Amino acid sequence: MSEFFHEGSRQLQDRFETRPMADRLVEAIVSNKISPEDKAFIEEQNMFFFATVDGEGRPNCSYKGGSVGLVRVIDEQTLAFPLYDGSGMYLSAGNVLVNPHVGLLFVDFQRQARLRLNGSVFILEDDPLMNHWPEAQMVLRVTVREMFPNCPRYIHKMALVEESAFVPKEHCETPAPAWKRLEAVADVLPPRDAHLAGNDQDAAAALNRN
């Protein structure tokens, strides 16, 4: 495993006298392999936070949600997840094309537990896992550099009330988001969505309901 801490981390560790503890934690909990327990935790989640960086080092953090099994562990150093239809800006996916370094944060709000994973992304053309997730536009695979559990003391305990109706499912038509029916985007929708152009009043009402 490469050097875990950089000069900035070391500067603050020395200021607050935590360097020995930080080094001990790296020895105890940081790994570059996904354990069976980590695999089970990851694959039980229906969401995670995904941090990417552009070519100039500017970060972007996004929320990725779906059904349980959104992320699939391929082997002890690789996991994969789908990119679904979104805003069409491709901020996260665009970033990984110019800078493969990423961070993933998994949080289980019911059990108040979390897992951090850092690594690099690659995208395969015609990835064989495309059929694993209905309506996936592409599959992103992450090679683990380091991963570790994180202190849960500040995780709020929350329960899932309802899964989003927009999560793609097999043999089920996924509804279109209301914003795609707004007049503001009606003339710039991609061909696959052109039929969604509607009136602002109906779209605004749908947005308020959501």
**Token pair of 151, please?**
């202190």
Q: How far apart are CA 68 and CA 111, in angstroms?
A: 15
- Could you tell me what percent of the chain has a pLDDT over 70? 93
Q: How many domains does the chain have?
A: 2
What is the pLDDT at residue 186? 87
Q: What is the pTM of this model?
A: 0.89
Q: How far apart are CA 150 and CA 140, in angstroms?
A: 24
Q: Determine the pLDDT at residue 23.
A: 97
Average pLDDT over residues 178-204: 77
- State yes or no: pLDDT of 199 exceeds 60: no
Q: What pLDDT does residue 202 have?
A: 53
Asked, for residue 139, whether it belongs to a domain, the answer is yes
Question: Last residue of a domain, which of 149, 166, 196?
Answer: 149
Report the chain's C-alpha Rg in angstroms.
Answer: 20
What is the DSSP-derived secondary structure letter of residue 207? Answer: H
Quote the pLDDT of residue 114. 97
Q: Enter the tokens of residue 20.
A: 């020995």
- Tally: H helices and E strands in the chain: 6, 7
Residue 63 lies in a domain: yes
SS3 label, residue 150? coil
Residue 209: pLDDT over 60? no
**pLDDT tens track for 132-180:** 999 999 999 999 999 999 999 999 999 999 999 999 998 888 888 888 8
Q: Please give the pLDDT value at position 2.
A: 54
Tell me which residue of 195, 105, 185, 182 sits closest to 142, measured CA to CA: 105
Q: Is residue 10 part of a domain?
A: no
Residues in the chain, total = 210
Q: Per-residue pLDDT averaged across 56-67, rounded?
A: 97
Whether residue 95 lies inside any domain: the answer is yes
The one-letter amino acid code at 78 reads T
Question: Would you say 158 and 46 are in contact if contact means Cβ atoms under 8 Å apart?
Answer: no
Chain centre distance of CA 132? 17
Residues 104 and 193 in one domain: no
34 vs 203, which has greater pLDDT?
Answer: 34
Is the domain of 43 the same as that of 145? yes
DSSP state letters, 37-100: HHHHHHHT-SEEEEEEE-TTS-EEEEEEE-STTSSEEEETTEEEEEE---SS--HHHHHHHH--
Residue 26 placed within a domain: no
Residues 62 and 126 in one domain: yes
pLDDT at 89: 94
The mean of the pLDDT values for the chain is 92
Specify whether the backbone of 83 is left (phi greater than 0), alpha (psi in -120 to 50) or beta: beta
Q: Are 23 and 36 in contact (CB under 8 A)?
A: no
Instruction: Provide, rounded to the nearest whole percent, the portion of the chain with pLDDT above 90.
Output: 77
Residues of the domain holding 64: 31-149
Q: How many CB atoms lie within 10 A of CB 51?
A: 16
- Mean pLDDT for 89-98 is 96
d(CA 145, CA 1): 7
